[in-house]
Amino acid sequence: MNMNWSVVFDNLDLFAQGLLMTLQLSGIAALIALIGGLLVALLRLSHIAILRWIAAAFINVLRSVPPFALIIYVYYGISLAIGVNFTPFFAGVLALALQYTAWMAEVYRAGIQAVPPGQIEAAHSLGFNSVRTFISITLPQALRIVIPPLGNNIVGLIKDSSLVSYIGVMELIRSAQLLTSQTFRPFEIYTATVILYLVVTLVISQVFSYLERRHATGRDALGGRRHTSRRRRARLDRLTELAVTER
């Protein structure tokens, strides 16, 4: 089989545009899902039964719809029902954000519930109110737990964003399709496309394992014991001296 990689190198701008669109699409959706997921998880754990119930329904319904079906449903179904024309980009972001909000809500919920109740009791015994306890004690510990699964979800979201090509967003896959129909070099073009997905996925995984190491402490730090800056060290030394010398 004769290959001609110039079709890739001559069209780097097209790949770059496609990649940029993929990153925008999944970046915005991921941002919404990271925040929305936490909010839905809080509703899911609320003391108010009706809020808990609504959150559970949201999570269960959205997790059971295939992503492709959801994208089509949002683009053709919902926009028609409410009489507003969604742009393909908007529909794509909305569908991905909704679905990954549901996935991430379950991740956050598990993380929050994994924080031992003794932590919350200790905070309460010091006079922390519930909101303060959540922000200062529960959330930081839960975040440490959820960093790896959130990373996996974001990788999943980026891969699912390829489905948005179907409704006409010029992301990586759609760009590759277009280029293939003009050049008839599917092998070279899709090889390049797959490599680009691979690179993005690897970068995301690396970022998340860095975050995981940074937020681990002590024995569970996997060799990445939390770094004590020189300024922090000096501050601790000053405090030590102060406490030792007085009285």
Partner 1 sequence: MIRLRSIVKSYGDHEVLHGVDLTVHRGEHVVIFGPSGSGKSTLLRSINLLEQPDSGSVEVLGAEYGPGIPGATLPRGNRLQLRQKVGMVFQQFNLFPHLTALDNVSIALRRVKHISRDEAEVRAARALRRVGLIDKLGSYPSQLSGGQQQRVAIARALVMEPDVMLFDEPTSALDPEMVGEVLGVMRAVAEDGMTMVVVTHEMGFAREMGDQNVFMDAGQIVEKGDRSLFTTTTEPRTRKFLEAVL
How many residues sit close enough to partner 1 to count as binding (CB under 8 A)?
A: 35
d(CA 125, CA 103): 34
Does the protein bind partner 1 through residue 90 (CB under 8 A)? no
Does the protein bind partner 1 through residue 229 (CB under 8 A)? no
Identified binder of partner 1 from the candidate list 12, 31, 35, 122, rule CB under 8 A: 122
Q: How far is the CB of 186 from partner 1 (least distance, A)?
A: 50
Does the protein bind partner 1 through residue 105 (CB under 8 A)? no
Does the protein bind partner 1 through residue 132 (CB under 8 A)? yes
Nearest CB to partner 1, comparing residues 83 and 117: 117
Subset of residues 133 to 192 that bind partner 1, contact rule: CB under 8 A: 136-137, 140-141, 144
Identified binder of partner 1 from the candidate list 13, 82, 184, 218, rule CB under 8 A: 218
Nearest CB to partner 1, comparing residues 13 and 47: 47
Does the protein bind partner 1 through residue 232 (CB under 8 A)? yes
Q: How far is the CB of 114 from partner 1 (least distance, A)?
A: 12
**Residues 6 or more apart in contact with residue 77 via CB below 8 angstroms:** none
Nearest CB to partner 1, comparing residues 144 and 185: 144
Cα 195 versus chain centre, distance: 21
Does the protein bind partner 1 through residue 242 (CB under 8 A)? yes
* Alpha-carbon separation of residue 121 from 42, 131, 231 (angstroms): 19, 13, 33
Chain positions contacting partner 1, by CB under 8 A: 116, 118-119, 121-129, 132, 136-137, 140-141, 144, 215, 217-220, 226, 228, 232-233, 235-236, 239-240, 242-244, 246
